[in-house]
Chain A
């Protein structure tokens, strides 16, 4: 009997992908497992492989030591604002860079790319100076407004516009009498849906996990976002690791939900992009 290699290759591919998925998920699984164990158990070798019974205890420690739910709320607020602003400003900017010629276009783009090349922590002290000068210390707007000028976002949007929006479409719309801003709003934005979904997701995640920004700007524990609040539980010698893991695990849940929602958009994007 001949081995059907035509069927074997896809099967092997499925297997590889499945194994890969398991490997990807493993550390994540452990985070949730550790969230349900006491810290003594976490530091065992071999570490616990299955869920334990300490989740509620960890949750209790977590909510006593830090204003956990409040920090979650702040994280949510800042991330949503940041995502909304970034999507708007970067799609506008990316469209402009991709489709138009204007003065300073090249140097400006180079400058924007230039900021991507510097690590964020070097900007800590000058950022602090700016926030202080504006009186934005301890205010959430200091977290979501600067990020909207995301070099990454504009770069990504420019690439997407270049690759998925044909010039003739824009020209045709112009000839039909559609105003420039109308073209942006009614033609470009809908076509950018997969990109918006992706950039929105990435921006939300970056804002959610950002701790350097809040570290510089926030002075009161009631204003902390999640990463800062969770880190503030870590003492050099006496951290409640179970509670920290529980907090980290819960902190990932909104991101999971968001991902589930936005990946649907990515699929909608399939039909939108295919229809011309």
Chain B
């Protein structure tokens, strides 16, 4: 093997980071800058680049006084919490359980939970519109069947639920699909992180008399903190940018009374349906402010303090 060139510890980070930075500046920063620039313009895209008109803060002023923008923010926040929190609350214990209790069937179980993540949106749209169907969709059929299970009868609803038609049901339906899609993803992340915790710590704790629950609470969770920070940040960002699932479940329109319209979807429609790219860019930067704020809060809450182990 050829000898790698020797670099000083001062120079090496620049070398390591350079491929990324070059690509990032070209393909990441330019679109960012362009969209920032665009937020101050009025632009109808099919008229070509030359038709941009500078309008200052007009797009922002319009968005802030736009009741649809605030409605979409509320929807987005609700969906982000309702789909994000269960993902992590379920994924962590699930990963731990799989890590400790499944040896031979581990791959199969993880695979089952991860499968939703790899399914394409076309298939998901088709599948779930069938599953959520009011009269014959399997979800309603399943819920009715619960009624005949002793002890769980109270869970069954009185009538078949119109998931995608009634305004109050659209959001839970979307949250369910998002949860379905990403819980496995988070489980895999946590599982990967769990595998970096050395066994000897657990063995030592067992010898000291610590039970399973105590080990989980005092060893596993703290060791998982960097991964929790990562996972929760991703969920916050992803949740606030939720677009695909609401889009395909409501057929791109946002559902009855737009209860399913997230800010990202409103942005997309503003750009490609209402042909207002300047307005869409302004919306995205307003959303950016919210996401940045919440990411900062997540940072304060979950960021691991101190040097690495």
Contact = CB atoms under 8 A, between A and B. Distances in A.
Interface stretch (A55-63, A66-74, A93-101): A93-101
Contacts, number: 290
On chain B, which size bracket covers the interface? 35 or more
Contacts of A205: 117-118
B101 A89 contact: no
Interface SS, B side: helix
B119 A118 contact: no
A146 B32 CA distance: 14
Contacts of B75: none
A245 B28 CA distance: 34
A80 interface: no
A256 B120 CA distance: 13
Contacts of B198: 273-274, 276
B6 A274 contact: no
B172 interface: no
A162 interface: yes
Contact of B196 (A163, A208, A241): A163
B284 interface: yes
B8 interface: yes
Interface in A152-179: 152, 154-156, 159-167, 174, 179
Interface in A24-56: 24-28, 30-31, 34, 42, 45-47
Which of the listed residues B19, B189, B267 has the most CB atoms from chain A within 10 Å of its own CB?
Answer: B19
Given A45-B133, A163-B308, A273-B196, A259 B118 contact: yes
A201 B237 CA distance: 20
Given A194-B195, A205-B118, A146 B23 contact: yes
Interface in A212-252: 227, 230-231, 234, 241, 244-245, 248-249, 251-252
B17 interface: yes
A102 B106 contact: no
A164 B196 contact: yes
Interface string A180-194: 111011000000001
Interface in B1-33: 4-17, 19-21, 23-24, 26-32
A151 interface: yes
B237 A108 contact: no
Contact of A181 (B7, B24, B130): B7
Interface stretch (B60-68, B77-85, B147-155, B225-233): B225-233
Contact of A92 (B17, B115, B127): B17
Contacts of B130: 30, 42, 47
A89 B111 contact: no
Contacts of A266: 188, 191-192, 195
A149 interface: yes
23 contacts: A24-B184, A92-B19, A93-B20, A111-B29, A115-B24, A119-B243, A149-B23, A149-B28, A159-B227, A163-B223, A163-B226, A179-B4, A179-B7, A180-B6, A180-B9, A180-B11, A181-B7, A181-B15, A184-B16, A194-B193, A201-B188, A208-B118, A263-B110
Given A27-B119, A100-B12, 15 more contacts: A21-B112, A25-B115, A92-B17, A115-B24, A118-B284, A122-B280, A146-B28, A159-B227, A161-B308, A179-B6, A198-B188, A248-B119, A269-B192, A269-B196, A274-B199
Interface of B: 4-17, 19-21, 23-24, 26-32, 34-35, 45, 94, 97-98, 101, 106-107, 109-124, 126-128, 130-131, 133, 135-136, 138, 141, 180, 183-185, 188-189, 191-193, 195-200, 223, 226-227, 229-230, 233-234, 237, 241, 243, 264, 267-268, 271-272, 277, 280-281, 284, 287-288, 291-292, 295, 304, 307-309
